[in-house]
Amino acid sequence: MLCTYFISLVLSSFPVNDPVSQTVANDDAVDRWPQQAIDSLERIEIPNGFQKRLVAAEPLVRDPVAFAIDERGRAYVCESARQENGVEDNRSSPYWLLDDLALQTVEDRLAMYEKHKDRRQGGMNYYTAHDDRLTRLIDSDGDGILDARNLFTPPYNQPLDGTLAGVLIEEGRAWISNIPDMWLAHDKDDDGVADQQVSFQRGFGVRIALRGHDMHGVVRGPDGRIYWSIGDRGYHLVTSDGRLLADPGAGAVFRCEPDGSDLEVVHVGLRNPQELAFDNKGDLFTGDNNSDAGDRARLVQIVWGGETGWRMEYQTLEGSNQRGPWNQEGIWQLDHPVQPVWSLAPIAHLTSGPSGFVHYPGTGLPEQFRDSFFLCDFRGSPGSSSVWRFRLEEQGAGFRLADPEVFVNKVLCTDVDFTPDGKMWISAWGGGWVSTDRGRLIEVWHPESQLTNQQHRVGHWLTIELKSLSAQQLASLLGHPDRRVRQRIQFHLAAGGEEELSVLNEAARNGVSLQARLHGIWGVGQWVRGGEDRFQQLLSLASLCDDDEEEVRTQVARVLGDLRHWQSSSRLVRLLDDPAARVKFHAALALGRIGVRDATDRLMEMARDEGPTDPLLRHAAVMGLAGSARLGDLMNYATSDNREVRLAVLLALRKKHHPGFLFAHPGGDIGRRSPGVHPVISIFLADEDAQIATEAARAIHDLHVLGAMPALADRVLFHAGAPKGALESMRDHRLPYLRRVIDAALRHGDTRHAAALVSLAGRDDIPRKAGRLAIEAVLNWVEPGPRDLVRGTIRPYGGPSRSSEAIRSEISAPLLDLIQKGNHLAGVAQQAASVHGIDLPLSVNETILADASQQTSFRIQALRQIVEHYPERAGIALDRSRSAGIAELRVEAERFEEDQSVRVQKLEQLTTDANEMEIRQLAIRAIGAERETSATALLTAWLDALEKDDLEAELHLDVLIAASMSDSEQLKNRAARIQEGEGIDRLADHRWALAGGNRDRGREIFVDHPVGQCQRCHSRQGRGGVAGPPLDNLVDSRSREEMLQSLVDPSAVILEGYETDNGISAMPEIHWILSGDELRDLLEFVCSKND
């Protein structure tokens, strides 16, 4: 049901002084902006021949996320004060991660808030304490500077509301994106306040994910539809006509009619597509950011049915499966040996934090900028942020990057757009990553081009009453150099009657320029969509399928497909033989939208012949097959000798009932919901081609084809008993394939599969990671974890109850064989044996204990088994552990002493070992766990020494932690007081972290910590982000004290080039995020030299 709100708001203006801009000649006004804003403007670098000035700053504009400019040059600004104040982030709220990963609807998210409300100050009121605002800024005195502000709509501050992050304004109507709603507001009397606001679709933003991954990018397409994007917070939508569109863990691009009807998903698998931009030919693009794990931000072409492969679950996958298939299978890369065939690779890697994005409308800049895109690169600090300029050149059915360059530098930009008079406006965030109540709008323009621009009268044509113009004038304006004018004329004609249709048809055939012809074509399609029984009017347009102009044929195919004009099917099939790749691409997509069964053979030929050289043509052919061919038609090709044909069948089966896309039924009706991928796809698991078998495993596992899961699980039975070396032929595809087989066996197998997993792990023809994963699956057999082993999605085990007893006899022998091999799997196999109650022979445990190559935890486990089950050999094992040279093993050996007082004495002796600091640290902590008088006395003495600065710095934290473990409340309170400090000097309060850390553990925190996310902003040896300074060999230039201060009080000293306008570092105060151990270890890593 649509919720309608009638709004009555009072226009308010901020009293400000007259402005002056030092960068603008002949400006008589005086300064009106804060000095910080003026200083930030001075630091901004612009190209030669351009000028800059502030057109708004705080308090007029605050925390601007995005903005739009209307036809009269007024700004509509999305402001957010709710960052970490109602709009949350899984990195700062890790306690609800598993809950978040399981959410399926926005109502589920509200229930999660209720579940955890006691963790928030004020409970549920926490989520409504701050608000986001859509404001209108105007220039009331005509001096070019914005000077008055009012709320255009009521504030957004409901618990489910996300960041207000997108607005499109057009002649009083505003399309507003704010999770969980897509809004349409209307200011009918142009008083700056919306009279009505309607939610035309609810259900966006199922999950929390990361802050900023919201709904944004609202833009009008050349077809007259509204397009917008959402980050990986997902969606669960029931449309007004009853269709279900749902994917709770992926970002996507949507489109609908201006009134909100006919909503559909265009493209899925995006991470955080902040903004969208169309070029002059109606092609759509976005910038998508990286996940801070070595991957790079990407330029992506948005196409119907496109998938780019990201899921929000990947963000919290670390270690050997860091970011899951995204990294492990190279989905983000331009090319990779095992990149999924269904994923569309990016055009290029560009920027680090893509945000605002716009295509130059055509007037206001020098000629060299024609057909340029401008993309904001937001990196958290002005010194490293910029606006890029580039072009995209056609390459086959796709594009390649051309002429990238930094256009405006040193501006913390969130959005960019052009005013009617051709000046660029850039919104700038106040600083860092959270709300600061500051913000700017900066104007950049080219004075010489401005003089030329005046002759185009863009502002005049954007505001004139179009009904006063003749048909000839309107037709002429379809060729205007500014796209905004052309689109206004097109939309006006498309809303008219038969007379206006004739103008569009004439333009489509004989327009004054190619651009005018394209607008005529788009306008005819728009006109047909605007009324009942208008399909016959497309027959004239369809005849242009034979036009001499390639782009005309391309756009006609696009429009005919969008309208599902089945009468043009034969023409579209002929276009599959067109010499131009773009024409073939759009013709195949059109056939998929219409559903033309007779096109199956030709589409299959296209996939076979064009697919290997042009991924976009393969994609279009697959979409054509998915929408046109019936299941039986596809299966007729399933046994073809040609691998490209079999691959096309598999991909079409995968796409045909993909949960993200709905195809037309034979009668032209769109399905109400996806029935899911047909399990017949499992026949390709046995394909001789490794890529095809892997794609089948991906489809079954990743799209959760339950009917085919048993077949995927059974592959472990097949491969476990296959001849030696049989899997080598799969080469690089073995790991992505086997990961899915193993997870399917874990969740859908029986005792046979458990034994087969162990046997599979023992094979010499599988990757080491696959072998370890197989044993880990056995280790967790009785209670599989809630997240799958490949993508990290929530898939709780739902089969019959399991027990160790049921599999013990099946897995004992193969596990013992693995352990006795003594290879990289011996330790984890030993762990699996222990978990399932399999006692290992004494000889095996003694071998593991003596093996220095084994992980320490496995050697400790072997020691425990010997002491507990073979007491006659315990003494030898303990002596061996004491002399092993491994700190953990040596301390553990002493903890087996039964007499508590003797145990404390032995541990105390270890604390005096001058040769091994780690042994001393561990021994102190072990004493903290003892409940004995002598232990309390030792802890008291160490605390005394610490406070007198008479204790080695490397032991400070260990003594504090040991004391906090004591059963003495006095010691606990004393340790807490020391560790917390006085709260005056952050560095002094954390001196206990200055020494004694572990470099290797610190590296893991830097790379993998799910909340700290150090690598998101900082790089080390070329790997990581660029928002903060690189951390290479800092020990050569900064002291430990300075580095610790940077961690616990980052705003105390901000390096040159990373300054913020408010003097507050963009880096979070890490001591609130990390434990004491983690802080000390991280410091050790950042203070170490590069490897």
Cα–Cα separations (whole angstroms), residue 141 to 242, 552, 618, 1074: 50, 46, 56, 52
- Strand ranges in 410-448 using DSSP code E only, listed in sequence order: 413-418, 424-429, 439-445
Structure tokens at 862: 């072997």
Provide φ and ψ at 276, rounded to 5°. -120, 150
Q: pLDDT under 50 in the chain at which residues?
A: 1-30
Structure tokens at 320: 């050997």
Contact at 8 Å (CB) between 257 and 529? yes
Q: How far apart are CA 920 and CA 907, in angstroms?
A: 9
Q: Is 186 exposed, middle or buried (0-12, 13-18, 19+ CB in 10 A)?
A: middle
Q: How far apart are CA 887 and CA 39, in angstroms?
A: 55
Return the bridge partners of 780, or none: none
User: How much is the pLDDT for 807?
Assistant: 97
The candidate with the shortest Cα–Cα distance to 955, out of 971, 969, 977, 938, is: 938
Q: What is the CA radius of gyration of the chain?
A: 32
Structure tokens at 446: 């080219």
Contacts of 130 (CB under 8 A, 6+ apart): 81, 82, 85, 86, 157, 435
User: How much is the pLDDT for 1022?
Assistant: 72
Same fold, 4-451 and 997-1086: no
Q: Tell me, yes or no, if the pTM score tops 0.75.
A: yes
Structure tokens at 905: 């004495």
Instruction: Give DSSP secondary structure letters for 464-486.
Output: S-GGGS-HHHHHHHTT-SSHHHH
Contact at 8 Å (CB) between 276 and 288? no
Contact at 8 Å (CB) between 548 and 513? no
Instruction: Give DSSP secondary structure letters for 54-85.
Output: EEEETTTS-SEEEEEE-TTS-EEEEEE--BTT
Q: How far apart are CA 273 and CA 276, in angstroms?
A: 7
Q: How far apart are CA 1042 and CA 986, in angstroms?
A: 12
Q: How far apart are CA 521 and CA 549, in angstroms?
A: 13
Contact at 8 Å (CB) between 865 and 845? yes
- Give the CATH fold of the 997-1086 domain: Cytochrome Bc1 Complex; Chain D, domain 2 (1.10.760)
Say what the alpha-carbon torsion angle 454, 455, 456, 458 is, to the nearest 10 degrees: 40
User: How much is the pLDDT for 23?
Assistant: 30
- Tell me the CA end-to-end span of the chain in Å, nearest whole number: 60
User: How much is the pLDDT for 326?
Assistant: 98
**Position of tokens 């701050």?**
130
User: How much is the pLDDT for 25?
Assistant: 31
- CATH number for the region 4-451 comes to 2.120.10.30
- Tell me which DSSP letter residue 798 carries: -
Q: How far apart are CA 747 and CA 712, in angstroms?
A: 11
The sign one gets for the Cα dihedral 562, 568, 571, 573 is positive
Pairing of strands 264-270, 276-278: unpaired
The candidate with the shortest Cα–Cα distance to 64, out of 54, 72, 73, 52, is: 54
The candidate with the shortest Cα–Cα distance to 51, out of 422, 624, 444, 386, is: 444
User: How much is the pLDDT for 371?
Assistant: 97
Q: How far apart are CA 298 and CA 288, in angstroms?
A: 5
Structure tokens at 1022: 């070329």
Contacts of 762 (CB under 8 A, 6+ apart): 771, 814, 817, 818, 821, 825
> 895-918 burial, b if ≥16 CB within 10 A, otherwise e?
eeeeeeeebbebbbebbeeeeebb
Contacts of 632 (CB under 8 A, 6+ apart): none
Contacts of 371 (CB under 8 A, 6+ apart): 279, 280, 359, 360, 391
Q: How far apart are CA 863 and CA 874, in angstroms?
A: 8
Contact at 8 Å (CB) between 1012 and 1073? yes
**Position of tokens 């190619």?**
514
The candidate with the shortest Cα–Cα distance to 321, out of 789, 647, 851, is: 789
- Strand ranges in 986-1073 using DSSP code E only, listed in sequence order: 1019-1020, 1023-1024
Which three-class secondary structure state does DSSP give residue 367?
helix
Provide φ and ψ at 400, rounded to 5°. -130, 155
The sign one gets for the Cα dihedral 328, 329, 332, 337 is positive
The candidate with the shortest Cα–Cα distance to 1016, out of 100, 250, 210, 216, is: 210
- Strand ranges in 320-473 using DSSP code E only, listed in sequence order: 348-349, 354-359, 373-377, 386-395, 398-409, 413-418, 424-429, 439-445
Ramachandran class of 43: left when φ > 0, alpha when ψ lies in -120 to 50, beta otherwise: alpha
- Tell me which DSSP letter residue 823 carries: S
Sheet holding 251-256, edge to edge: 215-220, 226-230, 251-256, 264-270, 306-307
Q: How far apart are CA 804 and CA 1069, in angstroms?
A: 46
Q: How many CB atoms neighbour CB 255 within 10 A?
A: 22
Amino acid at 806: A
Structure tokens at 267: 């493209």
Q: Is 664 exposed, middle or buried (0-12, 13-18, 19+ CB in 10 A)?
A: middle
User: Domain boundaries in the chain?
Assistant: 4-451, 539-550+565-673, 677-838, 997-1086
Say what the alpha-carbon torsion angle 565, 566, 567, 568 is, to the nearest 10 degrees: 70
Return the bridge partners of 235, or none: 204, 247
